[in-house]
Amino acid sequence: MSALQALQGYESSSSESEELNLDDVDNHSKSENAVQDQKDGKRPALPSVPSEILGMFDMSSNVAEGKSNASSHGGRIRSFEHVAGNWATLVYIPVELTEQLKIIMEDLLSLMPSSVDMEPVPDLHISLSRTVTLQYQWIDPFVDSIRQRLASFGGFTYCFDNVEFYANDEKTRSFIGLKANHGHQEMLNLVKIIDVCLQEFSLPVYYEKPSFHVSFGWCLGDYQTFLGDSDMTRIQRECRKLCRASLPLSVSEIWCKVGCKQFRIPLGMGR
């Protein structure tokens, strides 16, 4: 299958929010990630918080509701409107930028055609959820639910062994990412547990067939318009050579980022 066919029309993280910088990187979700009606009774019966209090915790620099000004975000376009009291939320594995991984990423970016203005991604991570929105009063219960369910989930290792190209749903941004095959099953098991927590709060679960990857470069536009099959095949071939001797990376914790808040969730604490 060609690299062109490997395009993932999934999520991640293009639902942009000033409160969640990681979301500016590789999320490809649409406005369907908005919080669903709470009347289904699935959420814990906690008291509501007055709008005046919620407003105190609204960290968005975009005061007015609606789409953000693309010119102030490098041409990036917010995929869902800012709503006061809703916090963009993402669960992910942080990726340590080792010297070896840095060399691989730099070499792969250098192989891109000169006509492609690919920007490096500063915050490296592997998404384990879509970008969803939580109301302020649900933040702690949501994080606690994940913490409890992962208390007996042990750490593991993974390796990157291929490169893939992705685009967000709107085809406004494209990404180059390293894909992890070794460690895929462990990440899939993590997602299944996190999905249960998301369902508790009536939030959308992750994608049925996720591609676990770290995006390390992005550019505006749809990559299919400026990268041909030959370009992608050449880059993939070089990636396989570069990753052949790469060392495995360890996962001992995951993170949940909610707006400007970050929650560290260690794995296997209940063992």
Delimit the domains of the chain by residue range. Answer: 4-266
| Beta carbons of 212 and 183 less than 8 angstroms apart | yes
Task: Choose the catalytic residue: 28, 182, 184, 213.
Answer: 213
Residue 146: other Cβ atoms inside 10 A:
23
Question: Is 3.90.1140.10 the CATH classification of the domain at 4-266?
Answer: yes
Residues paired with 165 in a beta bridge: 176
Q: Is 182 a catalytic residue?
A: no
Burial label, 159 (beta-carbon count in 10 A; 0-12, 13-18, 19+): middle
Say yes or no to pLDDT of 26 above 60: no
**pLDDT digit string, tens, across residues 174-214:** 999 999 989 999 999 999 999 999 999 999 999 988 999 99
Take residue 260 and report the two structure tokens written for it. Answer: 């400007």
Q: Is 73 a catalytic residue?
A: no
Helix, strand, or coil here: 270? coil
Q: Identify the residue whose tokens are 């990157």.
A: 160
Burial label, 21 (beta-carbon count in 10 A; 0-12, 13-18, 19+): middle
Bridging pattern class, strands 253-258 and 249-251 = unpaired
Task: Choose the catalytic residue: 82, 125, 182, 184.
Answer: 125
Q: pLDDT-based confidence at 117, cuts 50/70/90?
A: confident
Helix, strand, or coil here: 188? helix
Q: pLDDT-based confidence at 17, cuts 50/70/90?
A: very low
